[in-house]
A and B are shown apart, each in its own frame.
Chain A
């Protein structure tokens, strides 16, 4: 019998056998179209065999093996297999995700347009490296085997320049480089910088904003060895590169590297595995590394599994910005802003410099309320409130996307005088415009920068000096370089201090340090003002001294006491159904199935409603499992999943497993 084993993008943890008339070992990695159910599907051949567990008469013949592109290489298949194993996902689903949609559907993009011969303009003059940058570059250039590096550089320390030098070396050796960045928003600028630096290199952009055909072409360019540099968001970690010699993960702490639906993988962690598999160096760069990474890199106190490269100085600017904490306990705030912040804004305005007021909450106000009867604008579908968007007079759920007009009167009591409660970027924008009528106020959030085009236009406007005061969310926190920006004010940061999530302080610290790092990056000195009612909080104190290490070590000590990651490994089984009881019942059953498997090394917690118990009309519960030993957890999860797949599912119940969850 000639049999191929095919990974199909269906939610079943198994491969499918098909008959073929002609086949060869070399067909492994080719896509194949096969009959499935009442239709056809395209999958990937992962093995060839002479016998099947099924009777030959039951096997169907494959429709056609698609040999129109080179087979997916063995290391790519192994990477997918690792993800399937580690994240407990069906291999076919992993591969369906890892392939660009067009290739997944069995199609090919029209053959590459005639290769663009770029004029070999001479690359721009290289900036002089600081000693620390030079040391980092030397260490990277010297490494040609697997090693994880943590490039820990303060904001504005020239991490990108180090990446570019390392890429340069790799290209000179005939290798390929893979660079992952957190958000689509950042890629166009970086792409421009990379293209300018390597005018003759073929740079492939890979992110979800790239059109279908272009994405497939980029994948093929990489697969067929034409690409020199792949630059993209988390999905780029799956792009095959035969001559791959270095992987760079910029802003490695960023939560967007972890996918929150479908295949819940961490691109950073997968990238480390890939570097290990290919025996090449990987660089994780950040001003505020994740605590996991910092821990593995020896906490700044000694050698660790990762090699720490530190850039303690800013590259262009003389100094880090001065960070001041503004105690708002005694002060009557004016529309949420302290007198000190308003004065500082006026001063920048008078000097013709730019300021940024950071508030990580978009919309006008987080809720519309009726002062007469207490009604608030809840979302019908979620356990959340509808946010007031005054710019287009809508109420909007930031969780499920539901939107409706602003009611004229209170739906409960008829009162006309409904009040927006709290403060979002839109409100801050209008308040600032009112208080500082001479200032050109520009709001930057996901509403004003709803498309990449609008986002680029806004960035251009900032660079051209077309704005004095920026009001923005975390969109502005990362990676941007605005030479005239000298003041950052953070308002409403306290809310995150007491969040239930144990990672909340880590995120808040990173966010404030990153956003503060936008100020004073060029020749003008920068200042950061943080408004708080808890001026003595160690998190804020560490910010004033730019002491990431002290903060991280305190946090790690707390985590160690509580046995939280990185001192334990976690997985979450989540379930959602019409009624909470159904979700919890399923989790109880799943827990019973887990008990005989858990042993002493895996702890099973109790099923509980999720922190956001209702989303899109579905009620959600979760079950946490934890172990101090990763292999033990992995072995347990594999055995547990088999039993869960065998459980009878009530109608309408959906579940998934999240390994190394970031959100609770």
Chain B
């Protein structure tokens, strides 16, 4: 941890929905949906521009999960959330999505915040 500053864990990532699982519920009844986002952009790195592509595993719970059920593969999204390990054993991160924004082609874009 750096000094007294609170640890930061804020991720914003835009991209298109690649695929998503069916909505499921936790034993307490909270909706959960897991999905993959493909990200494409141009970024600057050591003073030069480059293309960037990646896939990000994401999970949305509660209201955000309900919003995600309306998303179709190929839809463009901007996600905000935080990173956490998949599990105790699988330490690679997964993006826990708190906000889902539709960023194109949808005048009535919905936005969900928890």
The residue in chain A whose Cβ has the minimal distance to the Cβ of B88 is: A374
Please, what's the 1-or-0 string for A351-395, where 1 marks a CB less than 8 Å from any CB in chain B? Answer: 000000000000010001001111000000000000010100100
B30 within 8 A of partner (CB): yes
For B62, what are the chain A residues with a Cβ–Cβ distance below 8 Å? 416
A417 and B32: CB pair below 8 A?
Answer: yes
The residue in chain B whose Cβ has the minimal distance to the Cβ of A390 is: B27
> Considering the chains assembled together, what is the distance between the CA atoms of A325 and B24 in angstroms?
34
B26 and A393: CB pair below 8 A?
Answer: no
Interface residues of A in 386-420 (CB under 8 A from B): 388, 390, 393, 405-409, 416-420
Interface residues of B in 18-41 (CB under 8 A from A): 26-30, 32
Question: A416-B61, A417-B59 are known contacts. Are A393 and B28 too (CB-CB below 8 A)?
Answer: yes
B108 within 8 A of partner (CB): no
For A416, what are the chain B residues with a Cβ–Cβ distance below 8 Å? 26, 28, 30, 32, 61-62
Question: A371-B88, A372-B85 are known contacts. Are A388 and B27 too (CB-CB below 8 A)?
Answer: yes
B28 and A407: CB pair below 8 A?
Answer: yes
A372 and B87: CB pair below 8 A?
Answer: yes
> Considering the chains assembled together, what is the distance between the CA atoms of A405 and B27 in angstroms?
10
For B29, what are the chain A residues with a Cβ–Cβ distance below 8 Å? 393
For A393, what are the chain B residues with a Cβ–Cβ distance below 8 Å? 27-29
Measured CB to CB, the closest approach of chain A to B110, in angstroms, equals 22
Measured CB to CB, the closest approach of chain A to B29, in angstroms, equals 7
The residue in chain B whose Cβ has the minimal distance to the Cβ of A409 is: B28
Measured CB to CB, the closest approach of chain B to A414, in angstroms, equals 11
B112 within 8 A of partner (CB): no
- Residue of A364, A416, A419 with most partner-chain B CB within 10 A: A416
Question: A416-B61, A417-B59 are known contacts. Are A372 and B88 too (CB-CB below 8 A)?
Answer: yes
Measured CB to CB, the closest approach of chain B to A23, in angstroms, equals 67
Measured CB to CB, the closest approach of chain A to B39, in angstroms, equals 23
> Considering the chains assembled together, what is the distance between the CA atoms of A406 and B88 in angstroms?
21
> Considering the chains assembled together, what is the distance between the CA atoms of A405 and B59 in angstroms?
25
- Residue of B62, B85, B86, B87 with most partner-chain A CB within 10 A: B87
Question: A416-B61, A417-B59 are known contacts. Are A371 and B27 too (CB-CB below 8 A)?
Answer: no
B84 within 8 A of partner (CB): yes
Interface residues of A in 415-455 (CB under 8 A from B): 416-420
Question: A416-B62, A417-B32, A417-B59 are known contacts. Are A373 and B88 too (CB-CB below 8 A)?
Answer: yes
- Residue of A371, A374, A390, A419 with most partner-chain B CB within 10 A: A371
**Which of A's residues lie within 8 Å of B, judged by CB?**
364, 368, 371-374, 388, 390, 393, 405-409, 416-420
**Which of B's residues lie within 8 Å of A, judged by CB?**
26-30, 32, 59, 61-62, 84-88
Given contacts A372-B84, A372-B87, 10 further A-B contacts (CB under 8 A): A371-B88, A372-B88, A373-B88, A374-B88, A393-B29, A408-B28, A408-B30, A416-B26, A416-B62, A418-B26
Can you list 15 A-B contacts with CB-CB less than 8 angstroms, sorted by A residue number? Answer: A364-B27, A371-B86, A372-B85, A372-B88, A373-B88, A393-B27, A393-B29, A406-B28, A408-B30, A417-B59, A417-B61, A418-B26, A418-B27, A418-B28, A420-B27
